[in-house]
Structure 1
Amino acid sequence: MSSETTAKPTESELEILQILWEKRNCTVREVHEILTLNKEAGYTTTLKIMQIMHEKGLVRRDTSSKTHIYSALASQEKTQQHLVSRLIDNAFSGSAARLVMQALGNHTSSKDEIEAIKKYLNELDHK
């Protein structure tokens, strides 16, 4: 999130942020249509969540035209860093290694992903 933004996104807000990070700018209707591809959601619920996100400083709203356009103010990288740090602290007693072992044990990684992980670990080892 931006240095001024300390709000923590809820699960629903995070789903909307992911859409905005990918698409850059969207109307509520566009966000709603993407959300309903994977789950049932009412348009007014999507609208209300996005209004709350605007109040929290997670999104920017351009009101210069009839249809309001939303974009993310919260940085994807900083939001992910915050969420991972919170997960490590709360679920893994502060152990990043336990998180990594759990993640790799529970999910199948592609050869490319495993190579990227090895490369990253090698780079950390040589710092």
Structure 2
Amino acid sequence: MKAKPTESELEILQVIWQKGKATVREVHEALSISKDTGYTTTLKQMQIMHTKGLLNRNEDSRTHIYSAGINEKDTQNSLLKNFVATAFGGSSKNLVMQALGQGTPSKEELDEIRAFLDQIENEK
């Protein structure tokens, strides 16, 4: 992975992964729904992300169009692997037990979890 995105960079990447490509204004408008941030802050952050290789930028038109420079699934896998290693001593079981203990999963969620576990077991 090129660079490990920060929390605020991940928020920007989430918008771009969802949209496929976006202008700074589009990203800023999406972010401003849930947080108070200035347009120039979003612009500067996206410029830095471009320099770090986290975003690609098409400069063919007056308005620059940004797309993700890193893959969503690969990024999630890398961040999760690092998180499990540092926060749970490398134990996926401890992570799952902690996550399930945080709330009350619905019957549908439990059914999906069981189906996923069955799928993993059948692949071995």
- Same fold per superposition (TM over 0.5): yes
Contact 2:17 2:72 in 1 (8 A): yes
2:105 alignment partner AA: S
> What residue is the counterpart of 2:85 in the other structure?
89
Q: CA RMSD for the aligned pairs?
A: 1.1
State the number of aligned residues: 123
Deviations 1:70-113 (A, max 9, x none): 01121110010011111101110111110011111113433332
Which structure ranks higher in relative contact order (CA pairs < 8 Å, sequence separation ≥ 6)? 1
Whether 1:7 and 2:3 are equivalent positions in the alignment is yes
Q: 1:109 aligns to what SS in structure 2?
A: coil
2:54 to 54, 58, 69: 58
Match of 1:117 among 113, 117, 120: 113
1:20 match: 16
What corresponds to 1:32 in structure 2? 28
- Deviation by residue 1:3-46 (Cα, 9 ceiling, x = unmatched): xx420000000000000010111100110011010011011110
Match of 2:38 among 21, 42, 61: 42
- Whichever residue aligns with residue 117 of structure 2, its letter is L
Q: Sequence identity of aligned pairs in percent?
A: 54
TM-score normalised to structure 1 length: 0.91
8 A contact 2:2–2:70 mirrored in 1? no
User: TM-score, with normalisation over the residues of structure 2?
Assistant: 0.94
Alpha-carbon distance, 1:114 to partner = 1.9
Structure 1, gaps ≥5 residues long: none
